Structure 1
Amino acid sequence: MAQHSVGRTDALRLSASHAPSLHTVLLLRLTAGLVALLAAIVTFVGTSWDIQWHTLIGRDRTLIPPHIMMLTGVTIGGIAALTVIITETIWVRRYPHMAQQFTPFAGLFSGPLGAYIVGYAALNAAVAFPLDTYWHSLYGIDVTLWAPFHIMIISGMALMAFGAVYMLASAAHLAARLQAKKAERSAYLGMIGAFAASLSLFALLVSQGSSPNNSVPLGFASFSLYPILAVLLLGCLLGGAVYALPRKWVAT
């Protein structure tokens, strides 16, 4: 029995010696977080271009250049999230002692919470595109951002940026543990950019609330939804920034 115990211990030590280091995990999460941020920026530029396209030209077909740009960003974000989840799931299955470094999901996958958010957001936006095309085939062309699948697409893109915040926060915490100052600084700068990208994308939806057509009638008067939505958006994102970024005056 003692020999079997020693054998298992030696095998565990051998397994641990071949396990990826925390530096490898840090590099993976930092890279994926920055790629997800890039994807969110691409989708924001594509969405802004799409609004101008529909204003000047109208909706002529599904795969117009702005839509292709938006889908490119969604695809990049989805691939980044999938890469992290698959890689870290493989690591946990090969080296069970690493499980404490990762967040399990459904008993099947392991990875950082941010990767799950980015993956869900990318899938959400990707699914919304064909549904939006089907919606237009049934009900015609609408010119508002508050159509059901427009909201689904833009909120998915904004959540992708928010997921990048979580992934970069995970990288920043690992970098702090490893005293990797450059990586920590890069992660925090990326988080600031991801917060800004998420705020910008959500702001596209919130700004629609300033339209008189989206005011709430009360019989004798009506009030705009914009101030309420703006306060909720800024409160949530700036509050999150204060919590996530250890810097003074970060919300300003």
Structure 2
Amino acid sequence: MATSLTAVPESSEAAIPGLRARDDATSAEWPIYAVVVASACIVVGLIWDISWHRTIGRDTFWSPPHVLEQLAAIIAGLSCGYLALSTTFAGESDARDKSVRFWRFFQAPLGAWVCIWGTIMMITSAPFDNWWHNAYGLDVKIISPPHMVLASGMIGIELGAMLMALGAQNRARTESARRRLGIIFSVASGLVIVMVTIMLTEDASFANDMHGSRFYKATALMLPVFLVAFARASRLSWPATRIAVVYMLVSMVAIWVLQLVPARPMLAPIYNAVTHMVPMPFPMLLFIPAAVLDVLMRRFGDERDWTLALVLGVAFVGVMLAVHWFWADFMLSPSARNFFFAADKWDYTNRPGPWQYQYWNLDRDAARNFSPLLLAQGLVVAALIAAASARFGLWWGKGMSRIQR
């Protein structure tokens, strides 16, 4: 009887075509995942830090939120630093082709350089902020030079994480890889939107602001540019809606978790005796206007950007008004004063009063009465601002869709 011997493959990689390629792709992507996780930790740390200031006050630089933010910056910086050094000194030609040169020698993806810059800014801000508070007092102003340095570093890491995911998505050669990296890009983009909305806290976050044109002007300026740009650069369906959902989920989970943490003020004067961490306001219902943006962008395509920008601007402000005008009424009602919606949560420095349930920054005439005409004029201005914001977003998104490095 004849016996045939079949050679056993030396490794399972040789027996399964494409396994080595998938493993190489996964190992090459780990800096992206590390930076996106660091980006998420920065957002969580910032939300926690704001709640800490609203509930406890600034007691020490080494508070848990500050430590989380700085550790996240270090993780992002070390991951991208390793990526730059390994690409420069040990990278293959394919890795070098996907990189950007710095100082004509060091090589790394564009997003990695942005993250490294953001890390330097965040770490630099730490001793600067500590000195500033020692010199000028605790919580003198939110807008201060060290806080601006810190904010620029945070935004740098958020944008760097988004750019790293974007470049990997655009380079992906298979549908499964494009979808996986597209989801990572959506998450990173959603974290950027969270940062943008935090910047809008004083003008466009409380329900009390939603009956004045100032709210719609602020959101028209800051939100369409990012939503439209990220949506145009994404390879997934319903991209703006996905990004808005990420923003809402992150914000809502933070609200629910913070309310469970017992805390008391430690810095006078105390006018509101809070007993648990004070959360951020409930997020805007951004997924609704985002879905409208997705429908319009899919309908118009890539050829009529000026017309599309005008339509997007009018639609964004119109949908925001239709949704949040009535949403504000609900959020100021007793029905929203519960764990889920977390309405009527105020800083320990706020004196309780009827202002909590009133509308702020209304469009008023010379007699200080609410003026529908002035509101309408303000909304027209908001629509024009949104159109300009969307037009820049379309241009930016078209450029982002071509990023390979």
TM range (shorter): 0.7 to 0.9
1:237 aligned partner = 226
Retained in 2: the 8 A contact 1:158–1:199? no
Retained in 2: the 8 A contact 1:155–1:201? no
What per-residue deviation string (whole Å, max 9, x for no partner) do you get for residues 174-205 of structure 1? 322xx2x4433221111111011111122212
Structure 1 residues without counterparts, runs of 5 or longer: 1-20, 212-222
1:143 Cα shift? 5.6
User: 2-side partners of 1:127 and 1:229: how far apart?
Assistant: 30
Letter in 2 for 1:88: T
Letter in 2 for 1:161: E
TM-score where L is the length of structure 1: 0.75
Larger radius of gyration: 2
TM-score where L is the length of structure 2: 0.49
1:107 aligned partner = 104
User: 2-side partners of 1:26 and 1:146: how far apart?
Assistant: 43
Q: Choose which of 99, 108, 127 in structure 2 pairs with 1:130.
A: 127
Tell whether 2:141 aligns with 1:141: no
1:36 Cα shift? 0.8
Distance of aligned partners of 1:101 and 1:130 in 2 relative to their CA distance in 1, 3 Å threshold: same
User: 1-side partners of 2:195 and 2:131: how far apart?
Assistant: 24
Q: Which has the higher helix share?
A: 1
* SS of the residue 1:63 aligns to: coil
Q: Which stretch of the first structure deviates more once superposed, 154-163 or 58-67?
A: 154-163
Letter in 1 for 2:113: Y
Retained in 2: the 8 A contact 1:39–1:76? yes
2:356 aligned partner = none
2:36 aligned partner = 37
Retained in 2: the 8 A contact 1:29–1:168? no
2:50 aligned partner = 51
What per-residue deviation string (whole Å, max 9, x for no partner) do you get for residues 13-65 of structure 1? xxxxxxxx987874455221121111011111111111111222111111011
* SS of the residue 1:135 aligns to: helix
Distance of aligned partners of 1:33 and 1:43 in 2 relative to their CA distance in 1, 3 Å threshold: same
Identity of aligned residues (%): 24
1:99 Cα shift? 3.8
* SS of the residue 1:208 aligns to: coil
User: 2-side partners of 1:51 and 1:97: how far apart?
Assistant: 43
What per-residue deviation string (whole Å, max 9, x for no partner) do you get for residues 63-119 of structure 1? 011111111111111111111111111135xx5686433211120211110101111
Structure 2 residues without counterparts, runs of 5 or longer: 1-19, 206-212, 241-289, 291-405
